[in-house]
Chains A and B, each alone.
Chain A
Amino acid sequence: MSVPAQFEFFVDPNRCIGCQSCVAACSECDTHKGHSMIHLQYVQRPISVQTVPVVCMHCDSPTCAEVCPADAIKRTDDGVVQTARKPRCIACNNCVLACPFGVPKMEVEYSLMMKCDMCYDRTSVGSKPMCASVCPSGALYYGTRDEIERARPRSEPVNKFRFGNQIITTKVNMMVPRDSTMQHIDGQHIDVTAAMHEEPVNPSGMLENVFDEIG
């Protein structure tokens, strides 16, 4: 059993409404029942309701697996980076600290790292991951490339991310505007490090102005 190649995962945090449906549904998946593996957080609640859902991006060359001293994290042939193998994981936290996307979770009481495995019990038999099934905003979407291209005429998927001088290529895609002009260094990529000093901006810049006028 493996995840069919034609199905892909697409993430568009800009659509996220922070409802935590994904968090609720994640714990319903049989490979990690009772535990939610997805991260959903406010980016900076005092000034914005912007939220971000983070699933495992399933890197082609997963840093988490390579820094694992116990060799507990395996990427299956279908490109899914599996959760730590229970007999091996020694709970060192390296993967949690090394993942550039901040994905793995340390379950301290179990001495075990657990992470998003794209609901392997579902996706490996042709179904959809829980989070992307329930997400009511389309921030998380699982389907074919054809479907997403038809459904999202303004968007296009990108699967390269820049952290420092490192470009990471992932199995999971992130949606960006089709006409956006991104820096090209190693193909099209999203420069995450560049957001170091960013703050959430409410795109309607008028907001702050209006509130300023009220006083």
Chain B
Amino acid sequence: MATLPKEQDVLIDAFGPHLNRMEGRQLDTGVQPDKVVNTHCCFCGQQCGIQLKVKDNAVIGFEPWYAFPFNKGMLCPKGVKRYLQGSHPDRLITALERDPSSDTGFRPIAYDEAIRKVAAAIDRIQTAYGPNAFGVLSGASLTTEKAYLMGKFARVCLKTKFIDYNGRLCMVSAGAANKKAFGIDRAANPWSDILNADVVVIAGSNTAECAPITTNYVWQARENGGRVIVIDPRITPIARTADVFLPVKPGRDVALFNGILQLMIENDWLDHEFIENHTVGFEAVAEHVKQWTPKRTAEVTGVAEKSIRQAAELWGQAKTSFLMHARGIEHHSHGVENCLSTINIVLASGRIGREFCAYGTVVGQGNGQGGREHGQKCDQLPGWRDISNPAHREYIAGVWGVKPEEIPEAGVDCYEMMRKIDAGEIKGLLNICFNPKVSLPDNAFVTRALGKLEFFTVIDFFLSETAQHADIVLPGSLHEEDEGVVAQVEGRVIKINKAVDPPGDAKEDWRVIQDIAQALGRTHGMTFNSPREIFDELRVASKGGVADYFGITYEKIEANNGICWPCPSEDHPGTPRLFEPDSWNPIAKGAGPFYFPDGKARFNVAAYRPPAEDVDEEYPVILTTGRVVSQFLSGTQTRRIGPLVDQYPEPRIEIHPKLAAKYGIADGDMVTAESRRGDITLKAQVVTTIRPDTIFIPYHWPGRKSANQLTIAAQDPVSKIPEYKVCAVRIRKA
């Protein structure tokens, strides 16, 4: 019965979000901290180093960690104020049970009792409907140890095939494309390769707001003489001073990159030798892009032909380059093709696998990289192994001490799981580190689906909008309350260090999971005593896989400020740059630098398809969604931090004055945007920094302020990423 136990405002009153601000010891300038802990920020995939000041088992402030090489003390405002999530009035310090008769909708219960109830419900549902009737949703902000444990918990303990994670909303298009083109999914280069690149291409990345630290790398490249090309429907801060700006119409990226490739071919800006020796499939792609003449490209993409030519010229003639992309081109029903079309221009240029010759996706979530490597994805086993590959199953079964046939088959992506819940196939759900009610598209449907669950349990540190639906809420751990590793944007495995103990009844997430396993009486393989023990098993589980962590140890990470995987043995220094000409990998076995048996990279034909829902007379305006710098994802944490909320308190609709004029909208007016799935009414921000055919709404808010009331659940057929970046809406003055 996972409907809300009380009205939304009653729940908000009781459990927040309330705003935490500096007070008491945080504001006292006379307090001497007990210790200062070197760790990383809990938010995005940049994973900036930060030092947390701790006093009496509470985080009271931060100090820049100047010695950490990636960010050298730099932080975005989220990093600066992250410490305010600790000692928060909304922090869950007991287990809660849904109780509509109580004042707040929930009543605190003893932790052990809660665990027993969760186990009993799991047992009941699985006994009644079979093991696959219970599903698990996990997240990519968990440490890699926890991500690994979640995958193992689902397959070994729950024996369910239904596990997936919120990386599905984030990195999967890039992952799938990388796999297709390179055979490995990781940024190919360290960020230091940005610094001396002749050309930096930033496609669909609001870098300044979503990966702020990367800005300094890009500016540094420019300082060294590099040029910057930005592709985005909005003039974001990184685009403002770009040398070439391509304001692409949302959903037309494939056309743009195909057009650029066509110009490269036309002008022979190709690295024939590289194409010949290190790639497969160029001819088919070359044939395919012939149709993408500059004229047609301009027509489809809404970018001036001249700009396309300028970009192609800069890119084509560059000696070195760094191409990066992010959700802007990935959040599409053809997200994989978008990524493949960018990879095609990289491969055609031959600029990869060398210093300052680089390609990479800007990972979104804190462990967006590590969280997608070790088996919490529906079709994956640790070490980036394939759950449908018998050899892979056998190896992991050996590590886990089970029979290969006991490992369930591949499940489905998280949105499909919602559909299965809606259809009654999945009856029970455990959710951790995921706020699907806010973050999934068409959230009216998600809410309906959650309401159909017979049993729903959530492990969280705050009562997120999703947790409000839970029958039992288990108090888990904040980032600073546990240790473990994450892999940041460069594929560098770094160490999160524990600063404080979980308060009250709250426990480290891995303990909570193991307590459930114990209550179920299924303790096999679920008896770790520390994250280090989990990591040591993970190292073995990943050994010989593409994402090989075997040679990485906690000590080695600390000593080197992180180790880039693959790192197959303890004497291996890690691999900051992939695809170096003479590099060895376990797939090619010396045949070449790429992760295919022949060692060659793949060109993939990326055919242009319009967005799933294009504009029409009825819904004539494109809606695109994204982030603001002061909020993070579904805002479970950042909407509770006062200074971050002050910075951008409410979502607004960004709209170009031309479009605004058409509807008589002035800056500050309330405007309703309506799609086929829902509507939203927000204040208009009339600015010339967005395409006149497009409006933008940031997505961090729940309920009636949620942009995902409007977005469409259309998904990429391969990666299953939802199309957050384009849908059709109509607007009117409210």
B-contacting residues of A (Cβ < 8 Å)? 14-21, 23-25, 27-28, 30, 33-34, 45-51, 128, 130, 133-138, 151-155, 202-204, 206-211, 213-215
Contact = CB atoms under 8 A, between A and B. Distances in A.
A34 B76 CA distance: 18
Contacts of B61: 28
A25 B687 contact: no
B303 A19 contact: no
A116 to B, nearest CB: 17
15 contacts: A19-B629, A21-B212, A24-B643, A27-B22, A34-B27, A47-B689, A130-B64, A134-B64, A134-B80, A202-B240, A203-B243, A206-B307, A207-B247, A211-B688, A214-B302
A182 B222 CA distance: 22
A95 B497 CA distance: 46
Interface stretch (B85-93, B230-238, B372-380): B230-238
A21 B76 contact: yes
A47 B629 contact: no
Contacts of B76: 19, 21, 134, 136
A155 B220 CA distance: 11
A203 B683 CA distance: 29
A20 B629 contact: yes
Contact of B304 (A15, A21, A210): A210
Given A47-B688, A206-B307, A28 B209 contact: no
Given A134-B73, A206-B306, 10 more contacts: A24-B77, A25-B80, A30-B29, A46-B667, A128-B64, A133-B66, A133-B74, A134-B79, A137-B212, A204-B245
B225 A154 contact: yes
Contacts of A19: 76-77, 208-209, 212, 237, 629
Contacts of A151: 220, 223
Query: In the complex, which range does the number of interface residues on chain B fall in?
Result: 35 or more
A106 to B, nearest CB: 20
B212 to A, nearest CB: 4
Contacts of A33: 22, 27, 29
A34 B689 CA distance: 33
Contacts of B208: 17-19, 137
B647 interface: yes
Contact of B245 (A51, A137, A207, A213): A207
A133 to B, nearest CB: 4
B224 interface: yes
Nearest to A205: B245
Q: Which of A134, A152, A153 has the most CB of B within 10 A?
A: A134
A21 B75 contact: yes
B54 to A, nearest CB: 15
Interface string B210-226: 00110110011011110
A155 B81 CA distance: 32
B74 A134 contact: yes
Q: Which of A14, A136, A152, A203 has the most CB of B within 10 A?
A: A136
B81 A24 contact: yes
A215 B302 CA distance: 11
Contacts of B220: 138, 151
Nearest to A211: B692
B519 interface: no
A182 B354 CA distance: 40
Nearest to A15: B219
B630 interface: yes
Shortest Cβ-Cβ A-B pairs, 7 listed: A17-B208, A17-B237, A136-B212, A24-B80, A24-B77, A133-B64, A204-B245
A50 B688 CA distance: 12
Looking at chain A's contact residues, the main secondary structure is loop
Given A51-B237, A211-B656, A214-B691, A133 B73 contact: yes
Contacts, number: 158
A40 to B, nearest CB: 10
A149 B629 CA distance: 30
Contacts of B235: 48-49, 202, 207
A62 B702 CA distance: 49
Contacts of B27: 33-34
A50 B240 contact: yes
Nearest to B213: A136
B241 interface: yes
Nearest to B27: A34
B686 interface: yes
B30 to A, nearest CB: 9
B212 A48 contact: no
B623 interface: no
A133 B80 CA distance: 11
B242 interface: yes
A128 B74 CA distance: 12
Nearest to B245: A204
A34 B22 contact: yes
Contacts of A21: 74-77, 79-80, 212
Contacts of A206: 244-245, 304, 306-307
A49 B236 contact: yes
A37 to B, nearest CB: 15
Q: Which of B73, B80, B630, B686 has the most CB of A within 10 A?
A: B80
B237 A210 contact: no
A95 to B, nearest CB: 24
A155 B238 CA distance: 19
Nearest to A36: B643
B658 interface: yes
Contact of A49 (B215, B223, B240): B240
A23 to B, nearest CB: 7
Contacts of B66: 128, 133
Contacts of B629: 17-20
A167 B238 CA distance: 33
Contacts of A211: 247, 656, 658, 688, 691-692
B134 interface: no
B536 interface: no
Given A138-B219, A151-B223, A204 B62 contact: no
A135 B74 contact: yes
Contacts of A133: 64, 66, 73-74
B240 A137 contact: no
Nearest to B77: A24
Nearest to A155: B223
A35 to B, nearest CB: 10
A47 B224 contact: no
Nearest to B23: A34
